[in-house]
Amino acid sequence: MINIMENKRLFIQKLPLPDQTSFVAKTFRTPQFEVTWHQHIEIELILLTESHGQCFVGNYAGEYTTGDVFIFGANLPHNFQKHGDQIASAVVVQFREDMWGTIFLDMPESKGIRQLLQTALRGLKLGPKCCAFVAPLLRELEHQQGFARILTLCSCLHYLAEHPDYTVLSSQKIEPLKAREQERIDRVFNYTFEHFREPILLEQVAELVRMSVPAFCSYFKKRAHKTYLSFLIEVRISCAVQLLADTDLPVSEVCYESGFNTLSNFHRQFNKIKGLSPQQYRNALAGRRL
């Protein structure tokens, strides 16, 4: 994968198009899979074929696992962080909204696909029914040539438009930002991803963007449609979920490893987001594996 503008700002990703093709359909595997917080003008369908970990989409923090399929609208920032030293891979399909020309999506017959792509501006995680249909097509798409590629991509989009078995991930609206504004909010997100296991004070984050604490709190809520503290807690809970699933660490250690400083607060926040206590969540995972 090729990244430009590689600095402390959001990465702008551009994948090269193979000869005689109008869109990308390719498997990327470690280390090419590892791309930091980034965005691109292309719409993306991604099938995770190896690994599991945390995913960040707009202002959403959650988990992903092998077999998951996501669709991201144009310019939606996102990032997958695998857990531990796993090998990670994914089938990535990227296409521009105007790939078919200027009138395709305006035709009455394309209404469902047009609405799907509009909804995907907030990021979609497909449910089991959609994954079962779309995943084999994405695998096949990588090896197809000629017009068959267009037909398969359209089949995927048509099915998703007709069967909305997905979860909308981010509440963040995609709004054009000036370069300085984009750099500011991305600096906050990147700092959070890198330091969420440590104590983070509002004063520290506000200082990153040279704001007072009240001004920063208002700014972040306007941009992310949630408070900074809520976002930080979601990132920490996402980490805790992975530790509960992948390790035998006691719940008390999971608490501190994911950035919480008291067990009572960890239990309260985990239950609020997941609807179960950490131990109940681990037991439920173990039950599903039997």
Domains in the chain, please, with CATH? 3-168 (2.60.120.280), 179-289 (1.10.10.60)
Count of other CB atoms within 10 angstroms of residue 230: 16
Select the more confidently predicted residue: 177 or 63: 63
Is residue 219 within 8 Å of 208, Cβ to Cβ?
no
Percent of the chain with pLDDT over 70: 88
* pLDDT of 268 above 80: yes
Q: Provide mean pLDDT across the span 171-194.
A: 75
Q: Provide mean pLDDT across the span 236-246.
A: 88
For the ranges 176-185, 206-215, 216-225, 248-257, which has the lowest average pLDDT?
176-185
For the ranges 25-39, 42-56, 100-114, 250-264, which has the lowest average pLDDT?
25-39
For the ranges 7-16, 92-101, 132-141, 220-229, which has the lowest average pLDDT?
7-16
Over residues 147-162, the pLDDT tens digits come to 999 999 999 999 999 9
* pLDDT of 1 above 70: no
pTM of the model: 0.76
* pLDDT of 9 above 50: no
Amino acid residing at 196: F
Q: Give the pLDDT band of residue 232 (cuts 50, 70, 90).
A: very high
Over residues 254-265, the pLDDT tens digits come to 999 999 999 999
* pLDDT of 141 above 90: yes
Q: To the nearest whole number, what is the mean pLDDT of the chain?
A: 87
* pLDDT of 177 above 80: no
